[in-house]
Chain A
Amino acid sequence: MTARALFGILLAAILFLATPLSAFEIERVVSPGGIEAWLVEERTVPVIVMEAAWEGGTVTDTAEKAGTANMAASLLGEGAGDLPSQAFQARLDDIAAQMSFSVDNDYFNASLKTLAEARDEAFALFALAIVEPRFDDDAVERIRAQIGVAVARNRQSPDWLAADAWYRAALGGHPYALNRQGTPETLPRISRGDLIGYTKNVLARNNLKISVVGPISADELGTLLDKTFGALPAEAVLPEIPVVEVASGAQTIVVERDFPQSVVIFGAQGMARDDPDFIPAFMMNYILGGGSFSSRLMEEVREKRGLAYSVGTSLSPLKKAAMMFGQVATRNERVGQSLSIIRGELRRMAEEGVSPAELADAKTYLTGSYPLRFTSNSAIANQLMGIQTENLGIDYVERRNGLIEDVTQEDIARVARRLLRADDLVVVIVGRPNLSPTVEGLPETGDMAPPAAPGRQH
């Protein structure tokens, strides 16, 4: 129940952390072979957590073979070295180690959690998985079929349908708009050679970030780093990815499905992580719709009017795109009314900024809640990874709350004017929505035809 993100990587936006935390120290460990990792040596719980991330996520997929990166990630635990899939899984279970591989837009992510007593075996299995994946035919076909089922089932989910349509409308033909898991058309085209090629290109040493937390010393880790990652190629081979902006101009897209409650995603161009105004934008988002029960949208849409159980906004700064999202789920007849209220709030903040009290509350929450992100080995490892992939610097934990404190009302008014364009949103609605801002005369039922055809501009 900590940061809940729209769309995976957005977590990174929330990730940026920090208050001076005296409770732990981040150590930069460089192995004899030159591999770097950030370490927090923490001996309370006998659990070691390692996070690793390689630049080169699903954004490296081509439209023709969308889903390649995800499929490769899904196969890394499915046999390596001399161990076929079931033998590999049995070795992991025998020491109760937990290993997972996944991809997001920009990164290939790996996670290893092990009991301290099983450390060497767990790291050895991890090394085998990333250096010598087998991609046996039977495993490839099984995983292809399993992903096929996930892909088919996604299309039953209103949340997935909304996000998928939003990305296509907002980002067009950019790789970020591809289905990360692929489609029924692209999955059969992915060959064993494609999977091997992906891992050889992406799993290298120069695009790798590592975080480790648990009962392990810098010396011990240094040795393990070389054993675990030393056999990877020195240089990654990554495609050039163009920067993309969210399509300008209002669009409202209705995906008609027989849900009594519509799921709505709205979004626009956001703020890049390295933009000097990112922190003010982050705070603006908190006050507008990011702040759980304390946000303006929560107050206006949920608390005052009972229109929705969930409503909120978030920033999603990817490497080559910056987006700002909002979402609301409300019964079909109230969609127009809810959107009208939300647009009104975007306008109000763009025109008036935020009050001194709102700014002060945002500061005390964001700075005061910062230590809450460091309460477990897993959480700390996650936070360190966010700081590394966003290039914020090893001292970011100490600096971050100061950056929050420095933000002024003027800063927020400036970014609100820049980001919040109520009449320039890409809106996707899945359900059978009534788009009229008033509900007068409408029957209180869930099934009415929408007045707008899909794709209608307004």
Chain B
Amino acid sequence: MPRFRFLAPRVLGPAVAVILIAVLGTTILLWRGGDETASGAPLSFRLANGMDVLAIPDRRAPVVTHMVWYRVGAADETPGKTGLAHFLEHLMFKGTADIAPGQFSRIVARNGGQDNAFTHYDFTAYFQVIAKDRLPLVMEMEADRMTGLELTDAEVLPERDVVMEEQRTRVENNPMSLLQAEMNAALYGDHPYGRDIIGHKEEIETLTTEDALDFYNRFYTPNNATLIVAGDISLDELRPLAEKYYGSIAQRAPTFERKRAHIAWPEEDRRVVRRDERVHEPTWLRFYPAPDYSNAGAREGAAFDVLAEILGGGQTSRLYRNLVVTQGIAASIGSWYEGSRLDAGKFGLYALPRVGGALEDLEKAIDAEIELLLADGVTAEELERAKTVIAAGAVYARDSQRAMAYAYGEGLMTGMSVTDIHEWPDRIRAVTANDVLGAARSVLTGRAAVTGELLPGGGA
């Protein structure tokens, strides 16, 4: 992604060591959607050419967030050409017959806007945040590059070097990313979720202008795209603009039916141990196979969210309370459910020992907590607290138009409906203690998991 990046601040505020379980190449939204307005779910419609349109009104400032999401991502690349979805995302900022190379972002900026894009396994999206009166401008420009991208080696080859630098920053310079890459490969096997979104280095290096244009011409078509505008606009105001700028685009290719390889989960527990001399303090991680939200169904998906909150969601979670506060063997610990995927998700655990502590002791203590939860389930108090925190997250998300646009886009790209996303807080509130226990049993038992250790020392 062509995100511009500054260094992270030197020091994190709160002391708790924060580990970044970064999903490579994507923006992470902590809360995945939902809102509780009395006004109901955001309204949508479909243009005659198959492009979906969604408006998420928020009238506080005369500003809009304009996003176009394509239903194609890194998981749709052909073997030998990994990295192509993300590489094309960079190249979309080059030029068309009307926009000179490199001018897209400059025009947006000249109009007081900010723009960027991101690539994930199941989608690629482009966005601008800009004053409401400039919305037609960015819609025209975005529509223009849906069909009119022009690329030559003069722009493509330096950009490929930029992507190689991005790969170094995100992956090669980052031992945690290297560990997670190996663990994902162990978890998902040959399925595309088992490789980095940014692609294999040796394959990125060989991608060509023609590869990028082929991918573009196959997948970038209105019948494969969704428009989301959040901010100072209603669907009634958006409709004529959407018709004018996007409705006139003819379908360029058949609608892409995403049929991915079946995931062959590991048959037995796997352990990935990675030693790196750049590492001083060890890290422990575990990935369990899990369904994604759309395949889990609303009830089980919501139960996974609640389980992750109760087990390791915050400072009152079981793992924190028992391993950090009471036993004092962990410095940081947590669990999360990653359900915003099309084909499958994962349930994750991470832990950092105190300085000098051993991963073995940590793992034993974590396994004991899991056994306890599987045996006794969760208490009514834990359940209520977790549901309150998650449901409040949906209200807090409404404070940000960009977070809302992202939450709906991500959900829609991964098999959810507008109603599913809107009603998510209700699904959370309906979760029972038995649901949580059922979710725990389905994900934490009877399935092989991948455990990862990042350790100091030489060798890989």
Check A303–B316 contact: CB distance below 8 A.
no
Per-residue interface assignment for chain A, residues 277 to 297, with 1 indicating a CB less than 8 Å from any chain B CB and 0 otherwise:
000000000000001111000
Number of residues of chain B lying within 8 A (CB) of chain A? 87
Binding site for B on A (CB under 8 A): 1-2, 4-8, 21, 23-24, 42, 44-47, 49, 58, 70-71, 73-74, 77, 85-86, 89-90, 93-96, 98, 100-104, 109, 113, 115, 138, 142-143, 145-150, 152-153, 155-160, 162-164, 167, 179-181, 257-261, 263, 265, 291-294, 298-299, 302-310, 312, 314, 327, 329-331, 361, 364-365, 367-372, 374-379, 446
Q: Does B7 contact A (CB under 8 A)?
A: yes
CB neighbours (8 Å) of A293 from chain B are 2, 4, 93, 105-106, 109, 115
Contact of B4 among A24, A292, A377 (CB under 8 A): A292
Contact of B109 among A7, A46, A292, A330 (CB under 8 A): A292
| B161 closest partner in A (C-beta) | A306
Q: Does B78 contact A (CB under 8 A)?
A: no
CB neighbours (8 Å) of A364 from chain B are 110-112
Known A93-B388, A309-B166: A180·B10 in contact at CB below 8 Å? yes
Check B332–A101 contact: CB distance below 8 A.
no
CB neighbours (8 Å) of A86 from chain B are 315-316, 321, 325
Contact of B7 among A6, A77, A142, A291 (CB under 8 A): A6
Known A70-B11, A89-B316: A361·B109 in contact at CB below 8 Å? yes
Distance (Å) between the CB of A435 and the closest chain B CB?
A: 18
User: Of B12-20, B336-344, B371-379, B414-422, which stretch is located at the interface?
Assistant: B12-20
Which of B102, B157, B353, B401 has most A Cβ within 10 Å?
B102
CB neighbours (8 Å) of A45 from chain B are 60, 395, 398-399
CB neighbours (8 Å) of A5 from chain B are 6, 9
CB neighbours (8 Å) of A148 from chain B are 331, 354-355
Distance (Å) between the CB of A92 and the closest chain B CB?
A: 8
12 contacts between A and B (CB under 8 A): A70-B13, A89-B316, A102-B13, A103-B13, A146-B331, A153-B352, A306-B165, A307-B165, A310-B5, A364-B110, A365-B110, A372-B112
User: Which 6 residue pairs of A and B lie closest in terms of their CB atoms, listed nearest first?
Assistant: A368-B112, A102-B13, A306-B161, A96-B392, A74-B15, A306-B158
Which of B6, B165, B385 has most A Cβ within 10 Å?
B6
Q: Does B445 contact A (CB under 8 A)?
A: no
Known A93-B314, A329-B169: A309·B324 in contact at CB below 8 Å? no
| A291 closest partner in B (C-beta) | B109
Q: Give the docked Cα–Cα distance between A271 and B331 (Å).
A: 40
Check A73–B14 contact: CB distance below 8 A.
yes
Q: Does B430 contact A (CB under 8 A)?
A: no
User: Of B139-147, B239-247, B274-282, which stretch is located at the interface?
Assistant: B274-282
Check A44–B59 contact: CB distance below 8 A.
yes
Q: Give the docked Cα–Cα distance between A369 and B114 (Å).
A: 8
Beyond A103-B13, A303-B158, A329-B168, 12 extra complex contacts between A and B, CB < 8 Å = A2-B114, A45-B60, A77-B315, A142-B328, A145-B328, A145-B331, A156-B281, A305-B158, A306-B164, A309-B163, A310-B6, A372-B61
CB neighbours (8 Å) of A101 from chain B are 13-14
Check A306–B159 contact: CB distance below 8 A.
yes
CB neighbours (8 Å) of B4 from chain A are 4, 292-293, 298, 310, 312
